[in-house]
Structure 1
């Protein structure tokens, strides 16, 4: 059983990338016909994806003076992990490197999915993650992002998980959009299954986090639960290093299927992405408030 330890002082709001530019591993999938999507396969993004290459300065921690947070989530720390990265497509050798994922060795990352119109998953992940950060900070939470922009490579799953662990996060979420069969619609939440020596201490709180995020996301966006993968919008997996290596409650959001035209229209809509971010923030907030009530 591993114990979460919070860092002294105020956690940085955007975690620095390591100089070696280690890389990320995602649950996101590419179209694989009508079968179960393959997490390791995804198309390269188009250059016309409209990605935001410059980090929003809010929450960067650069030059900020330590101030006491106020709001219902004051005193909590949330780690947001925007899946993939904009430079991954040009770093095939790096992202194909095998890393220890808690269940064996696996490719370090994938490029991610994209819509038929070329809107890339990494751009979606980055945009929603920044909006989610802002919503959580408005509620008083300390927020840490695992990458600082959308033009780099990585970081790897080992570093992404370590950022949450070192921050002593009360909750962590990895933001993604799926790339399943074009006939499939909907969102799902991935939580860690029980893996002895890895997730046995976080499986139950992660399950509660998944339930809270699922409910809030469904209510806030009107998005249906996935009809092509998972069960009732929930999936427990033990093959994802980002979950297996976490010492803190963590889930993956697959916000919709980029290969489906109806889902893609939502994912590419900035207003929908704002609703998605606010809904996820509400779900995380419910989880954190419920934890405080139990401790009290």
Structure 2
């Protein structure tokens, strides 16, 4: 934090008096000189006070006046040039004027949202193709994701829904962490995405996606972690709670968006179990993926590209998380 020092105080006045008049000679001239000396001395002292740069002189008075003006005009030390409600370091001010964090059913809870893919992945093929350990084997660090036929990228969709979801959850009092906000050129890798949720000690983690299968395949589905144990992967403690999280999200998502469970997998339940996703295998926190629809189907794509529908999608996911966490 930067602090602006106020002007230094003037130096202390010297304790030494001006040279005293010399009275050693015993003569009438000395007596006369002695009579005149106090008057001269007083005049000399007045001149010194009026002209010297020391305390009380013009420089000192000017300095004091400037300091007084500055103290009235300038904000308190440490907050000079700061924007209202923001400290010099850029963090939110802790003053009483700052808005308090909203209280709600998720107060004290942490939710990690993982926007699938990254719009920059298309330009970083060699980086995202790097193999990483997912416990049961090795897999690409990340993938590009899919697009609609008109070119709307899955990574754009997932980030938009994730931000809407964050807003909805924060309004319920949750602490929300996003694994990224397209603030990096590519990635993060799937193992890092899992690690972010683990290190945040998240009460729930949701990875947001959209599918890219052939036209005619419609609807959403939620992917749950399978029972996996191998290498760094051990899902034994999260399989049960992850299923509950997934069921809550599926029910609320269908009700809020009006979308039906996928017609091409999951037997109409909207729930699918997989053991080949590093983001699930390496998680130690309850976690699911949601594929919100099929970007390659024209009817689903019309929904996915609609801001109003994306808002409903975020609300449905949020309601599922609130239900899972007991809100």
Q: TM-score when scaled to structure 1?
A: 0.75
Question: Displacement, 1:227?
Answer: 0.6
User: Does the 8 A contact of 2:135 with 2:229 survive in 1?
Assistant: no
Listed as ranges, the gaps of 5+ residues in structure 1 are 1-61, 291-296
Choose between structure 1 and 2 for higher RCO, CA contacts under 8 A separated by at least 6 residues. 1
Which residue number in structure 1 is paired with residue 167 of structure 2? Answer: 134
User: Does the 8 A contact of 2:159 with 2:181 survive in 1?
Assistant: no
Which residue number in structure 2 is paired with residue 187 of structure 1? Answer: 220
Question: Displacement, 1:229?
Answer: 2.0
Which residue number in structure 1 is paired with residue 320 of structure 2? Answer: 283
User: Does the 8 A contact of 1:84 with 1:111 survive in 2?
Assistant: yes
Moved over 6 A (4+): none
1: CA distance between counterparts of 2:325 and 2:93? 25
1: CA distance between counterparts of 2:273 and 2:101? 37
Question: RMSD across aligned C-alpha pairs, in angstroms?
Answer: 1.4
2: CA distance between counterparts of 1:169 and 1:274? 23
Secondary structure class of the residue paired with 1:87: helix
Indicate the structure with greater helix content.
2
Which residue number in structure 2 is paired with residue 244 of structure 1? Answer: 281
2: CA distance between counterparts of 1:105 and 1:154? 17
Which residue number in structure 2 is paired with residue 264 of structure 1? Answer: 301
User: Does the 8 A contact of 1:71 with 1:140 survive in 2?
Assistant: yes
Structure 1 or 2, whichever has the larger Rg, is 2
Deviation larger for 152-161 or 129-138: 152-161
The 5 A counterparts of 1:45-60 are none
Question: Displacement, 1:182?
Answer: 1.0
Match of 2:243 among 196, 203, 207: 207
Question: Displacement, 1:65?
Answer: 5.3
Which residue number in structure 2 is paired with residue 64 of structure 1? Answer: 92
Match of 1:158 among 191, 200, 217: 191
Aligned length: 229
Secondary structure class of the residue paired with 1:256: strand
2: CA distance between counterparts of 1:214 and 1:183? 21
2: CA distance between counterparts of 1:273 and 1:245? 28
Question: Displacement, 1:68?
Answer: 5.1
Encode CA deviations 1:231-250: one digit per residue, 9 max, x unaligned.
31100111000000000000
Question: Displacement, 1:69?
Answer: 4.6
Encode CA deviations 1:137-162: one digit per residue, 9 max, x unaligned.
00000000000326620011111111
Question: Displacement, 1:266?
Answer: 0.1
Which residue number in structure 2 is paired with residue 227 of structure 1? Answer: 263
